[in-house]
Structure 1
Amino acid sequence: MSLDVRTVTASEFPEWMRAVGTGFLTAGKGPDEELVADRLADVDLSRVQGVFDAGRCVATFRSFTQRLTVVGGATVAADAVTAVTVTPTHRRRGLLSRMMATDLAAAKERGDLVASLIAAEYPIYGRYGFGPAAWSAVWEVSVHRTGLDPRRSGQPAGGGRIEMVDGADTRKIGPEVHGALAARQPGAVTRGERWWRRHTGVGPRPDHEKWTEPFYVVHRAADGTVDGLLVYGTDDTWGDAKQPLNTASVRDMIALNPAAERALWHFLCSIDWITTVRSGYRAPDDLLPLLLPDPRAAQLVTNADWLWLRMLDVPRALEARTYGTEASLVLDVRDGAGLAGGRFLLDASDDGARCVPTTRSADLALDVAELATLYLGDESVRRLVDLGRAEELRAGAATTADAVFRTGRRPWCPDVF
């Protein structure tokens, strides 16, 4: 029986949402009318694909417009891919490949420079030219081992102060604070109004997303400006002999400077009855462990790939970011899908770059997915060469490329999408 791959209509959207729940193992039944209406109001149906078998949706795919911050603070247009599922009864039939090809071709036509996604499974997306460009880490902090003085650790230094706020305050304050972070954090992506509503408990949500109101905290600098935001939840766990064993789990934390970051972490580790702090997803080189008198109190429990990118326009993407040193490199970029391959001359500098097609001999040869891992400054060219995933065609080219692409701090994407 033939499978119909097509753009989803408004009347088919509830069935499409049911299939998403099946694919992600979150729900066996379809969504209610209120949830469908809420999602439809925020979805561009021209970018929603489904595969239908006798009227039943068996695979899903959606993309939306996103801005991605690159090295140097510029943002580029990204084709954000999400809701990718294939029902277990219809796997291994090339359905994802068909939907992905359609979406990437449309993104290329629109002029998007990259495609982006958060990969649920590592092995899937490399074959479509995606590579992990930013990683994420989670720490678990044993509060009693930190060495912090609980009488002082909740009191910010330098005239700053901590304030408890509510969800409505956060919807007002949060976008500006996040915008200031995104203006300089490579790997950050845009958060729309719906993101802030959903993450402060406004609007309907699926049955599997049980909402518990968190605590909202801001840090104000000495001049009164908000330069930090913390959102966390807690459990209610008590051990024998009435001993509190509560865990505080960070849902969101934005700090615009080290002082605010230190103050927020020290505040969270000073709350009575909290014995464990889960950091939530942080940058892999986050300051957290070294902000504690005893860094061993923070145990790394997750260190994994997070934001994946796929290059769609190599010259424009490479010209959008800045670089660590002045140098010229000729890159032979291979792309089996024919979307972004070619040989390019990159003239890089710390205030910009020029990248154009060239016929000059290449210094480095690499797949488009490997270029994506280098794009935000996270990966080492030398390591890719040693792994056989890049080829050094001119002696010393890998060393030069590392000086060009690498950054002082690692990229980080604070968001799931």
Structure 2
Amino acid sequence: MTATLDIRSLADCDDAGIRDWQRALHTGFHIAPSPTDEEMRVRRAAIDPARTQGAFDGDRCVATFRSMPRELTVPGGAFLPASAITNVSVTATHRRRGLASRMMATELAASRERGESVAILVAAEYPIYGRYGFGPATWVANWEVEVPRAVTDRRYAGPDDGGRVDLVPLEDVRTIGPELHERVRASTPGAINRLPLWWQSATGQRVVPSAPWKEPFFVAYRDPAGQVQGLAAYTTTEHHWPGKLPRVDATVQELITTTSAAERALWRFLLSLDWVTLLKTGYRAPDDVLPLLLDDPRAAVTETLADFMWLRLLDVPAALSARGYAGGAAALVLGVEDEAGFAAGRFLLETDASGAASCTPTAAAADLTLSAADLACLYLGDESAVRLAALDRLTEHRPGAATLATTLFRTARRPWCPELF
């Protein structure tokens, strides 16, 4: 039966084929199985047919796959071309036939040909993507904060640094948001760029019918000079008063800042909201400062601590040369194993006192040998080579090589991808 299944680019499909691809996407993600015409119109605007694949059993689409061009911020602030993979689904009737593997192989080869040094995705399930050479490169945390316990004095009157916090209308968010995010992502390893569609969705200009939009409150922090350095968005539940006591939950949809003063000011504003007794933080960096801002950090109950963005190296010299490193001048030969071949080889990584680096293929003996997936875990600075060695996931050929790799790759703050894509 596998021989009858045809993998096609949506660029080669007619309108009926594209419509059936969207029906298959809805089926795979447990959305309404028959998308409306309006749903089709809105979703189609976000799709590049040339970067979208479907598996067809006759005229019926039974698996979906899509990618988007993005820029990934790496340690040191460089933007690396990346293929952001999304909308991967296989209809339950056609599982275990290699459809996802075939589409992934096609995409990775095309991505390498386009000059994209890495591929990235958010894994719905942990066991799937390691076999394709991906490794978890960033993690996220999500806290639920019991506000009355967390803050003993809620009489917050605004920043004491000369800055100010203001509610912002949607039309202003569309202006200040993109400019602020460009500055934020430049200093956030793991972040990716946002397209105009992102801001249209966030501010209600673009609404997917199957995912109803609720207008959030937007609030901005401006520094003493009047420049926007932070933006937060939050929604609230309907208030009720059991026992004549207020009970409102607030959920943070977004909180991005360029300075620690802005970060503190926005969290303190959110913790001071009248009637709010539970603050849900949404996905944050795993080393977010929030718990330590509280009078009682135990009031921030960890609801989620999990892998988030997975990464796959496609061009090792380009990727390793693009990022910055700690630890001063050093040299390390990495032996990378990759069944698909994209990242396989031995590579000499040389760094200087400034943190700049070059990475070139070499015939020299490896100091460390590891898989492409485990190198992906190290790449943005979140994992420790010493820990991987303890798990027998890398082989150290030169004493101290794992410690050196840990020193070189680790970053002062953990990488974070604020985007679900």
The 2-side partners of 1:27 and 1:391 are apart by 48
8 Å CA contact 2:63, 2:91 repeated in 1: yes
Q: 1:37, CA displacement in angstroms?
A: 2.7
The 1-side partners of 2:297 and 2:322 are apart by 37
The 2-side partners of 1:78 and 1:169 are apart by 30
- 1:197-236 aligned at under 5 Å gives the runs 197-207=200-210, 209-236=211-238
Residues 14-34 of structure 1, C-alpha deviations (whole Å, 9 max, x = no match)? 2111111111112221x2223
Equivalent position of 1:122 in the other structure: 126
The 2-side partners of 1:245 and 1:17 are apart by 40
Deviates more, 1:293-302 or 1:401-410: 293-302
The answer to whether structure 1 residue 79 and structure 2 residue 77 are counterparts is no
Residues 277-298 of structure 1, C-alpha deviations (whole Å, 9 max, x = no match)? 0011100000000111221111
- 1:94-173 aligned at under 5 Å gives the runs 94-151=98-155, 153-173=156-176
Deviates more, 1:238-247 or 1:72-81: 238-247
Equivalent position of 1:392 in the other structure: 396
Q: 1:147, CA displacement in angstroms?
A: 2.9
8 Å CA contact 2:253, 2:282 repeated in 1: yes
The 2-side partners of 1:270 and 1:154 are apart by 9
The 2-side partners of 1:372 and 1:216 are apart by 35
8 Å CA contact 1:154, 1:266 repeated in 2: no
User: What SS does the corresponding residue of 2:102 show, helix, strand or coil?
Assistant: helix
- 1:185-200 aligned at under 5 Å gives the runs 185-200=188-203
Q: 1:58, CA displacement in angstroms?
A: 0.5
Residues 208-228 of structure 1, C-alpha deviations (whole Å, 9 max, x = no match)? x12111111001111111101
Q: 1:242, CA displacement in angstroms?
A: 2.9
Could you tell me which runs of 5 or more consecutive residues in structure 1 were left unpaired when the two chains were aligned. Answer: none
Equivalent position of 1:15 in the other structure: 20
Deviates more, 1:231-240 or 1:339-348: 231-240
Equivalent position of 2:243 in the other structure: 241
Residues 347-395 of structure 1, C-alpha deviations (whole Å, 9 max, x = no match)? 0233311111111111000000000000000000000011111111111
- 1:16-415 aligned at under 5 Å gives the runs 16-29=21-34, 31-151=35-155, 153-207=156-210, 209-325=211-327, 326-349=329-352, 350-415=354-419
User: What SS does the corresponding residue of 1:360 show, helix, strand or coil?
Assistant: coil
Q: Give the TM-score taking structure 1 as reference length.
A: 0.97
8 Å CA contact 1:134, 1:306 repeated in 2: yes
The 2-side partners of 1:250 and 1:106 are apart by 37
Aligned residue type for 2:174: R
User: What SS does the corresponding residue of 1:72 show, helix, strand or coil?
Assistant: coil
Q: 1:345, CA displacement in angstroms?
A: 0.5
Residues 56-102 of structure 1, C-alpha deviations (whole Å, 9 max, x = no match)? 11100000100000000000000110000000111111000000000
User: What SS does the corresponding residue of 1:347 show, helix, strand or coil?
Assistant: strand
The 1-side partners of 2:303 and 2:157 are apart by 25
Aligned residue type for 1:16: W
Q: 1:239, CA displacement in angstroms?
A: 4.5
Count of matched residue pairs? 414
Q: Give the TM-score taking structure 2 as reference length.
A: 0.96
User: What SS does the corresponding residue of 1:378 show, helix, strand or coil?
Assistant: coil
The 1-side partners of 2:265 and 2:78 are apart by 29
User: What SS does the corresponding residue of 1:222 show, helix, strand or coil?
Assistant: coil
The 2-side partners of 1:62 and 1:147 are apart by 45
Closer/same/farther in 2, CA of residues 392 and 19 from structure 1, 3 Å limit: same
Residues 141-173 of structure 1, C-alpha deviations (whole Å, 9 max, x = no match)? 11101234211x241111111111122211111
Aligned residue type for 1:200: T
8 Å CA contact 2:326, 2:355 repeated in 1: no
Q: 1:42, CA displacement in angstroms?
A: 3.1
8 Å CA contact 1:154, 1:263 repeated in 2: no
The 1-side partners of 2:157 and 2:288 are apart by 20
8 Å CA contact 2:311, 2:377 repeated in 1: yes
Aligned residue type for 2:248: N
Could you tell me which runs of 5 or more consecutive residues in structure 2 were left unpaired when the two chains were aligned. Answer: none
The 2-side partners of 1:257 and 1:149 are apart by 24
User: What SS does the corresponding residue of 2:104 show, helix, strand or coil?
Assistant: helix
The 2-side partners of 1:204 and 1:411 are apart by 30
The 1-side partners of 2:118 and 2:8 are apart by 23
Percent of pairs with identical residues: 54
Aligned residue type for 1:298: A
The 1-side partners of 2:14 and 2:247 are apart by 48
User: What SS does the corresponding residue of 2:124 show, helix, strand or coil?
Assistant: coil
Aligned residue type for 1:18: R
The 2-side partners of 1:296 and 1:174 are apart by 32
Residues 256-285 of structure 1, C-alpha deviations (whole Å, 9 max, x = no match)? 111111111111111111001001110000
Off by >3 Å, runs of 4+ in structure 1: none
Q: CA RMSD in A?
A: 1.1
8 Å CA contact 2:197, 2:206 repeated in 1: no
